[in-house]
Structure 1
Amino acid sequence: MSTKVRLHVARVLARTHIVLIPLDGTLCDFYRGVDTAAIADRIYEMLFSAGHRMSVLTAIQPDPLAKMGYAYSVGPDYGAQAEEMVREAELAAATTAVPTSGAQEVLQACRASGRRIVVAGDICSDAMETYLDLHGLRPVVEAVVGREQRPATSEWPGLDLARQAVKALGAEPSDCTLVSMSVLGMYAAAEAGIQAIGVVSRNGSRKHLAGTGGSVVVSSLAELAGALTAVPATDSYEPSP
């Protein structure tokens, strides 16, 4: 057992049989170079052309998923049209997404240590499958849980997807750990009753990631990969005397 793996991290990993990893923001920068505000504008123009008038605050919302949710609230047909616009953009983005340093090592370490992997994200499953295939990662991932598996008007997509990811493998929440660079991911894990490991990034500080209850934090995906290799999944861990 490597002394470089801190005790509280080792204890979480010992109880980790299934690893849940968000695609965008953890495995990769999915929308690198994509003008997501332009997608939101297309949804606005579709609704405006259909005679719908929205509030100024809604109209200037640059998040295409928020605009898509709004379109569903207007009507299912409008929502379906918005969803198709977003899906087309996601399929294109999958071919230009930039992998996060250390992400492939984490997936390989999970597989080598016998841990099962679910990749989840508020992205259509086809786009996530495309990304994983392009980077040779699909064989190590047991399940992909995309946006189709949460309610169209979900108020907390991350929580719904985390719960669906657990169900996808017929697992118990206590056997699962969410790995995320997002504070929202840490909160979603806590609400879903699963463990969480935060990974420090340029957008998320150790302090913020650690401030979500029982979450533990590592400095990088490379550090996590080493820890996954060093600590077997045994349900409990006690340091050697």
Structure 2
Amino acid sequence: MLSFNGTTCDLYAEMNAEALAGDIRSRLYAEGVRMSLLTLVVTDPLWWVAIAHTVDGDSGAKAEEAVRAAEMAAALKAVPTPGTSEVLTACRATGRRVAVVGDTCVPAMESYLDLHGLRHLVGPVIGRDHRHPTTETPGFDLLWIAASALNAEPSDCTLISVSSDELVVASDAGLQGLGVVSKYDKRKHLAASTADSAVVSSMRQLAEALMSVPITTPPPAQIAGL
């Protein structure tokens, strides 16, 4: 499994998430929803989408539509992380099935993959559309749905991600984890996220390792050359 935002591309770099969160918050306030001043520091638009859904269905739908529109626009400008195409090509060449997973709307993810000629290299695309809106960080649900879509057990799957938080969730969900060093998390943070997570320096290094390690060798640590 390949995590979408941050790993495949930096979608949020093309979005003003703080302004989007502020717009949703202001709309809710205008509708008469009163909130603690502490919520002013929350700049995650998806958190506000979840809050809007607790108000009523119409508020939730409007907030979701605002975020989806921003994600669709950002998908047209997002640039692939160097090595992404090589990783997906290596997976295809070695018989590894790939699902792309992320807390982003599926149409934006599909649009991005199509735009950069990557869609044919992946199978299921599992996004926010597959889960119930919640203020909690996406947990096991999307990963388990992706594993099911791949007709695989979670224990047979590996999540590739630049986020140590996502690697922790993957481990708790029964998946193996493989971290990619980035501006978001350094090697020591990724390596410390779980006891069984391996780390590579870049997507290109991962692609080279995938081509040299048979699919019958499951541990991510061996793929990473550790």
Q: Which moved more, 1:126-135 or 1:152-161?
A: 152-161
State the alpha-carbon separation in 1 of the partners of residues 14 and 179 from structure 2.
25
Q: Secondary structure at the match of 1:223?
A: helix
Of all paired residues, the percent bearing the same amino acid is 52
Give CA-to-partner distance per residue, 1:85-121, whole Å, 9 cap, x none.
1011111010011211111111111011110010011
Indicate whether 1:225 and 2:212 are aligned: no
State the alpha-carbon separation in 1 of the partners of residues 146 and 14 from structure 2.
28
Q: Secondary structure at the match of 1:157?
A: coil
Indicate whether 1:213 and 2:195 are aligned: yes
State the alpha-carbon separation in 2 of the partners of residues 117 and 146 from structure 1.
14
The count of residues paired between Structure 1 and Structure 2 equals 219
> Contact 2:101–2:127 at 8 Å: present in 1 too?
yes
Q: Secondary structure at the match of 2:211?
A: helix
1:203 maps to 184
User: More strand by proportion, 1 or 2?
Assistant: 1
Give CA-to-partner distance per residue, 1:1-38, whole Å, 9 cap, x none.
xxxxxxxxxxxxxxxxxxx0111100101122321111
> Contact 1:44–1:67 at 8 Å: present in 2 too?
yes
1:146 maps to 127
Residues 67/228 of structure 1: CA separation in 2 closer, same or farther (3 Å cut) = same
Q: Which runs of 5+ in 2 are unaligned?
A: none
Q: Secondary structure at the match of 2:13?
A: coil
2:64 maps to 83
Deviation of the 1:174 alpha carbon: 2.0
Deviation of the 1:45 alpha carbon: 1.8
- 1:150-161 matched pairs, under 5 angstroms: 150-153=131-134, 155-161=136-142
> Contact 1:122–1:158 at 8 Å: present in 2 too?
no
Residues 125/190 of structure 1: CA separation in 2 closer, same or farther (3 Å cut) = same
Q: Which moved more, 1:51-60 or 1:151-160?
A: 151-160
Q: Which runs of 5+ in 1 are unaligned?
A: 1-19
**After TM superposition, where is structure 1 displaced by more than 6 Å over at least 4 residues in a row?**
none
- 1:118-137 matched pairs, under 5 angstroms: 118-137=99-118
Q: Superposition RMSD on alpha carbons, in Å?
A: 1.5
> Contact 2:47–2:134 at 8 Å: present in 1 too?
no
TM-score by length of 1: 0.87
Indicate whether 1:186 and 2:167 are aligned: yes
